[in-house]
Amino acid sequence: MATNNFKAFALDPNANVTPQADWEALPTLLSGFTSGKASSAQVNKALRQSLFIASTLAEFVSTTLNTDILDDDDINGFMSKLTSALQLNSPGRLINIQTITTSGTYTKTLGAKHALIRAVGGGAGGGGVPATSSTTQSTAKGGESGAYIEAYVDLSSVTSLSAIIGAGGVGAIAGSNSGTSGGTTSLGSLISCPGGEPGIGGNTSAASFVSSDRASNKAPMSTGMVLVSTPTSLPNLGRVANPSAPTVGGTGGSNPLGVGGGCWRRRTRNSNKSHQCNRVW
């Protein structure tokens, strides 16, 4: 059993202490004991009130942490123990919010036991569109959004973790090139959110672009409780219209943090007009 050196004083019902009503009426409460002889009952009352609180607080810390509380003049040591005891008896407190926007190191907030983590992978860039003939138009597909997750994790064995923020992909400016993929966002081995796949380059076919199912491209979790998890989201598919109608490009993929960006791209050529390329993002 842990030891507590701080003991209560004069707790016997018949102890020689000034009655509470008399104590509250004493001028001594304001001035303290001055010259002359102090009443033993008054001194005992002052000691009992202070030691009653001190011994109770020390016992709380000793019992909570199962550690010795010694009369050793180590104020900083007792403050550390008191802080730990209060934290253990206050579960579910929100003690800090950290927002990480650049890659670096996550350092756990002192006293943190669990964390609610929200993370998203980088969105991908959209594809470009090739030049067209006088009778055809072309379009491209937007990029996927990154995977998104909210998870409740145990931090009891964590001091710091490597935090990687997945960069967004780059869209193709022109031609039939694809954009680039979004980067993976991760927090140590706790969470890894894949980035989106890039939009493929455009063509002049009348068929819509076909994409594979991405439902399995979620952020994997080996520990913790997953609250929300969405895979990399497919963008809206670009469509090839007839030469007299505008071409509609696919918007980027969406996730719980927002909708994908819109894109309208058109390339035309005919004998009366020069080459045009219009973009609205």
What would the pLDDT profile of 5-59 be if each residue is shown by its tens digit? 999 999 999 999 999 999 999 988 888 888 888 899 999 999 999 999 999 999 9
Distance separating alpha carbons of residues 122 and 198, to the nearest angstrom:
11
Q: How far apart are CA 142 and CA 201, in angstroms?
A: 9
Judge whether 195 lies within some domain.
yes
* Residue 76 main-chain phi, psi, to 5 deg: -65, -40
Q: Check residues 133 and 200 and name the one with the higher pLDDT.
A: 200
**Same domain as 191, residue 76:** no
170/225 same-domain check: yes
Task: Report pLDDT digits (tens) over 164-183.
Answer: 999 998 887 766 678 888 99
Of 88, 115, 131, the domain-final residue:
88
Beta-strand pair 191-193/104-107: unpaired
- DSSP letter assigned to residue 114: E
State the pLDDT at residue 100: 95
Q: With bands split at pLDDT 50, 70 and 90, how would you rate the model's confidence at 60?
A: very high
Residue 245: both structure tokens together = 């109608």
Is the alpha carbon torsion for 187, 127, 280, 144 positive or negative? Answer: negative
Report which of 214, 116, 129 is spatially closest to residue 178, judged by C-alpha positions. 129
41 neighbors 16 (Cβ within 8 angstroms): yes
Do 230 and 115 lie in one domain? The reply is yes
Residue 14 lies in a domain: no
State how many domains the chain has.
2
170 located within any domain: yes
DSSP letters for 21-43: HHHHH-THHHH-S-SSPPPHHHH
Confidence of residue 92 (pLDDT cuts 50, 70, 90): confident
φ, ψ of residue 163 in degrees (nearest 5)? -110, 120
Helix (H, G, I), strand (E, B) or coil at 150: strand
Could you tell me if 62 and 177 lie in one domain? no
Looking at the structure, tell me whether residues 59 and 148 fall in a common domain.
no
**Residue type for position 132:** T
279 within domain boundaries:
yes
Q: Distance from first CA to last CA of the chain, Å, rounded?
A: 69
Indicate whether 126 and 261 sit together in one domain: yes
Q: Are residues 122 and 254 in the same domain?
A: yes
Residue 257 contacts by C-beta under 8 Å, 6 or more apart in sequence?
120, 148
Tokens 């993370």 appear where?
Answer: 119
Residues 117 and 60 in one domain: no
The answer to whether residue 1 is domain-embedded is: no
pLDDT at 206: 39
Q: Which residue has the higher pLDDT, 264 or 100?
A: 100
What type of residue sits at position 280?
Answer: V
End-of-domain residue from the set 67, 88, 109:
88
The answer to whether 206 touches 135, Cβ cutoff 8 Å, is no
What domain range includes position 232?
99-281
Let me know if residue 8 belongs to a domain.
no
Q: Give yes or no: residues 112 and 250 share one domain.
A: yes
Residues 106 and 54 in one domain: no
What's the pLDDT score for residue 93?
A: 78
Between 204 and 210, the more confident residue is 204
Same domain, 228 and 119: yes
Asked if residue 111 and residue 44 are part of one domain, the reply reads: no
Confirm whether 161 is domain-assigned: yes
Average of per-residue pLDDT values in the chain: 78
The residue out of 69, 88, 107 marking a domain boundary is 88
- Asked if residue 196 is part of any domain, the answer here is yes
